[in-house]
């Protein structure tokens, strides 16, 4: 059985990745608090990629991200041609260190 996007997000939330993020002005904003996090203060702990079998619109990537201050959450972006260039620019500077 393959993991769905919803299952991945639920699993990550149980592991403490409970905040959500949005890209704003070259940083990640914590949705619940509005706190802005710089790429150099972040680490990607897990990446889940989902590919739509019949519909390219279903392609997505879920990132589990942790800040140096202990904020843990998820960021979801489209994958492939629909990916957000601003998100790619922010995440390019964030190292992947699996937990």
- Please, which contacts does 81-88 make with residues 24 or more away whose CB atoms are closer than 8 Å? 81/56, 82/56, 82/57, 84/23, 86/23, 86/26, 87/23
The DSSP bridge pattern shows strands 27-30 and 36-37 to be: antiparallel
The pLDDT of residue 9: 95
Each residue's pLDDT, cut to its tens digit, for the chain (99 residues) gives 567 889 999 999 999 999 999 999 999 999 999 999 999 999 999 999 988 665 555 689 999 999 999 999 999 999 888 889 999 999 998 999 987
Tell me the C-alpha distance between 92 and 63, whole Å. Answer: 12
The pLDDT of residue 51: 80
Output Rg (C-alpha) for the chain, integer angstroms: 13
The pLDDT of residue 29: 98
In the chain, where are the structural domains located?
5-91
Tell me if 46 sits within 8 A of 37, measured CB to CB.
no
The pLDDT of residue 57: 59
CA 14 centroid distance within chain: 16
Q: Compute the residue count for the chain.
A: 99
């Amino acid at each position: 059985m393959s993991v769905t996007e919803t299952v991945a997000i639920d699993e990550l939330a149980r592991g403490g990745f409970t905040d959500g993020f949005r890209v704003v002005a070259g940083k990640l904003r914590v949705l619940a608090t509005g706190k802005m996090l710089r790429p150099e203060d972040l680490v990607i702990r897990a990446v889940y990629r989902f590919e739509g079998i019949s519909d390219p619109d279903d392609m997505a990537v879920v990132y589990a991200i942790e800040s140096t201050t202990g904020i843990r959450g998820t960021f979801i972006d489209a994958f492939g041609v629909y990916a957000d260039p601003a998100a790619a620019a922010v995440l390019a500077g964030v190292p992947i260190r699996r937990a």
